[in-house]
Chain A
Amino acid sequence: MGMTATQKILAAHAGRGAVTAGELLTMPVDLVLGNDITAPVAIREMARAGCDSVFDRGKIALVLDHFTPNKDIAAARQCSAVRAFARRHAIEHFYDVGAMGVEHTLLPEKGLAAPGEVIIGADSHTCTYGALGAFSTGVGSTDMAAGMATGRAWFKVPAAIRIELAGALVRPLCGKDVVLYLIGLLGVDGARYLSLEFGGPGVASLSMDDRFTVANMAIECGAKNGLFPVDDTTRAYLAGRAARRWTAYTADEDAVYERTVTIDLGALTPLVACPHLPSRVRPASELSHVSVSQVVIGSCTNGRLEDMRAAAEILRGRRVCDGVRCLVIPASQEVYLRSLREGLLEVFVEAGAAVSTPTCGPCLGGHMGILDEGEVCVSTTNRNFVGRMGHVTSEIYLAGPSVAAASAVAGHIAAP
């Protein structure tokens, strides 16, 4: 029986010729990731277990991105703990304020994810690197601790859903519209424990940034990972970033899928996920009755250069509507600098938007844009759960950067 691409990556790492769905395996990992929320718990658990060494200081990434720049003393203390750990173990890939970005934007930029690799991260959106053909998945702090100590992790081999992309994506549509459509189709647990394996002629029409957005939100339908094939777009992105040798895996012709879902990219319209689940998807054009108090453009989902360009295209020469607070958060120093050089930040400031240094901040209700009672936010982030961005009665509508920017100008949800 043939294997999916995910199964082939897992088999190769486990030193097995073949694996089947449902099997439990342990295997070496190529990278272990943690942030300022999850790493402190992992560090504490390592200490409690009496472990004071890491398996490979070059295969651990620590990124202080969630409550940074430090939002309060407790957050500062957590960052201090991670900083001290990174120094003690001479962790190579440690990113502090000034160098850091939102982890899932930063790691690919730094060449820390490549096709065929196995990556675990104590952050649910670690699945982002599937855009590059890596098997990457979110785990908890204990898995991170075990990974840092032993260099290994345990997995159940997942079955898969094949996502066949037909047609071609046309701007201003973007990866967010594709993945919101998919989550609307599958539901928030429609891919629970499964891989999403993307393929088909439509893949070529997705930019690298589109693919990062799509793979990033695989978790929002419960998936273990979301995997894209490696093509010229992938290779162009990796050139100059990941210099080491890597292997691209493709599914066998006779690979078995639980089901195949086909999406006609040409038939999509700008979409919005309504409160309080990412699966409550409706066309943006049907939601003009929803008034907006805040707009957030950023995050590991949509804080990349193309997202900044898409937002700037809408905001250029326009003004953010009175009564709306528009926050733009380039997700890494590289995105920030390139946005600066392209004049995008000037566009945002002139439009009346606030531009921030990279941080996860408002996405998880950490800081930098917390919502009050009854406030409504259109956000390019990934979750619209109850209380996610602030008060339990506040509401989040998820959308791509063009819809978010158009809504900031209109004062209500608007299609670009």
Chain B
Amino acid sequence: MGIFVYGDNVDTDVIIPARYLARSDPESLAAHCMEDIDADFAGKVAPGDIVVAGQNFGCGSSREHAPLALRACRVSCVIAGSFARIFYRNAINIGLPILECPEAVAGISPGDEVTADIATGRIENRTTGRVFAARPLPPFVRGIIDAGGLLPWIARTGGGLGTPSPGGADAAGGGAI
């Protein structure tokens, strides 16, 4: 998989600038994804590629167009040191795979060959041979991703928004929403 490496505080204004928000179809979002930070991104990105970034990825505006643009580019996963809260829950809600793993981010350089397993959180840098373990998601959140997003999950669980297990595994609350 190809990788694209960025720094800290990649905001949703650069992931998809507001001047393109009068449209929300996947094609137009994909055409301008990352344009203000990496003008070549939309032309170079290939299905399955991985975006790697530092702290606070997706900060700023709540525009769901940002994870939608990455998904429209068929990015297979975003690995970041940390995610801004709204981007994080938007990615979960639309089923865009994300992994929080600062160790992996520190251990990946541009040009490395990287694979990521969303189900297990296992990230492998095949260039260096190093393997990293991303923080596991709580079962409640994993259930939403497994269903393909929040609305399919609601449909699957009977049309309402159910309740996570109080005091159970969800109380650990990995990641952050």
Partner of A222, one of B19, B84, B177: B84
A259 sits at the interface (CB 8 A): no
Stretch of B53-61, B71-79, B128-136 at the chain-chain interface:
B53-61
B13 sits at the interface (CB 8 A): yes
Contact B90 A192 (CB under 8 A): no
Q: What is the number of residues of chain A that contact chain B, defined by CB distance less than 8 Å?
A: 64
Shortest Cβ distance from B177 into A: residue: A156
A237 sits at the interface (CB 8 A): no
Given A22-B172, A25-B164, A189-B55: A146 and B150 within 8 A (CB)? yes
Given A150-B160, A386-B36: A40 and B24 within 8 A (CB)? yes
Q: How far is the CA of A24 from the CA of B89 in the complex (A)?
A: 13
Least Cβ–Cβ distance between B4 and chain A, in angstroms: 17
Contact A49 B56 (CB under 8 A): no
Partner of A385, one of B60, B68, B152: B60
A154 sits at the interface (CB 8 A): yes
Contact B60 A78 (CB under 8 A): no
Q: How far is the CA of A146 from the CA of B155 in the complex (A)?
A: 10
B126 sits at the interface (CB 8 A): no
Contact A143 B93 (CB under 8 A): yes
Q: How far is the CA of A20 from the CA of B149 in the complex (A)?
A: 26
Contact A150 B154 (CB under 8 A): yes
A366 sits at the interface (CB 8 A): yes
Contact B150 A188 (CB under 8 A): no
**What residues of B have a CB within 8 angstroms of the CB of A314 in the complex?**
none
Partner of A188, one of B56, B163, B166: B56
Contact A193 B176 (CB under 8 A): yes
Residue from B60, B85, B86, B167 whose CB has the most chain A CB atoms within 10 Å: B85
Q: How far is the CA of A193 from the CA of B159 in the complex (A)?
A: 28
**What residues of B have a CB within 8 angstroms of the CB of A45 in the complex?**
151
Partner of B86, one of A78, A124, A383: A124
A340 sits at the interface (CB 8 A): no
**What residues of A have a CB within 8 angstroms of the CB of B140 in the complex?**
24, 154
Given A142-B149, A192-B85, A222-B59: A26 and B162 within 8 A (CB)? yes
Contact A150 B161 (CB under 8 A): yes
1/0 per residue, CB under 8 A from A, across B6-24: the answer is: 0001010110011101111
Contact B64 A142 (CB under 8 A): yes
**What residues of A have a CB within 8 angstroms of the CB of B164 in the complex?**
23-26, 154
Least Cβ–Cβ distance between B168 and chain A, in angstroms: 10
Shortest Cβ distance from B36 into A: residue: A387
Least Cβ–Cβ distance between B84 and chain A, in angstroms: 6
Given A153-B161, A365-B17: A277 and B60 within 8 A (CB)? no
Contact A24 B170 (CB under 8 A): yes
B122 sits at the interface (CB 8 A): no
Partner of A22, one of B21, B89, B160, B173: B173
**What residues of A have a CB within 8 angstroms of the CB of B115 in the complex?**
none
Shortest Cβ distance from B144 into A: residue: A154
1/0 per residue, CB under 8 A from B, across A362-394: the answer is: 001110000000000000000101111000100
A138 sits at the interface (CB 8 A): yes
Contact B64 A189 (CB under 8 A): no
**What residues of A have a CB within 8 angstroms of the CB of B166 in the complex?**
16, 23, 25
Shortest Cβ distance from A388 into B: residue: B13
**What residues of A have a CB within 8 angstroms of the CB of B65 in the complex?**
37, 41
Residue from B11, B18, B23, B155 whose CB has the most chain A CB atoms within 10 Å: B18
Least Cβ–Cβ distance between B140 and chain A, in angstroms: 5
Q: How far is the CA of A100 from the CA of B129 in the complex (A)?
A: 57
A208 sits at the interface (CB 8 A): no
Which residue numbers of A lie inside 8 Å of B, CB to CB? Answer: 16, 20-26, 37-38, 40-41, 44-46, 48-51, 66-67, 71-72, 74-75, 77-78, 122-124, 126, 138-143, 145-146, 149-150, 152-157, 188-189, 192-193, 219, 222, 224, 277, 364-366, 383, 385-388, 392
- Give 18 pairs: A residue, B residue, CB < 8 Å, sorted on A: A25-B163, A26-B163, A37-B63, A41-B24, A49-B154, A66-B21, A72-B22, A138-B62, A142-B151, A153-B161, A156-B173, A192-B84, A192-B176, A365-B13, A365-B17, A366-B21, A383-B13, A386-B36
Which residue numbers of B lie inside 8 Å of A, CB to CB? Answer: 9, 11, 13-14, 17-19, 21-24, 36-37, 55-56, 59-65, 67-68, 82, 84-86, 89-90, 93-94, 138, 140-141, 149-152, 154-155, 159-164, 166-167, 170-173, 176-177
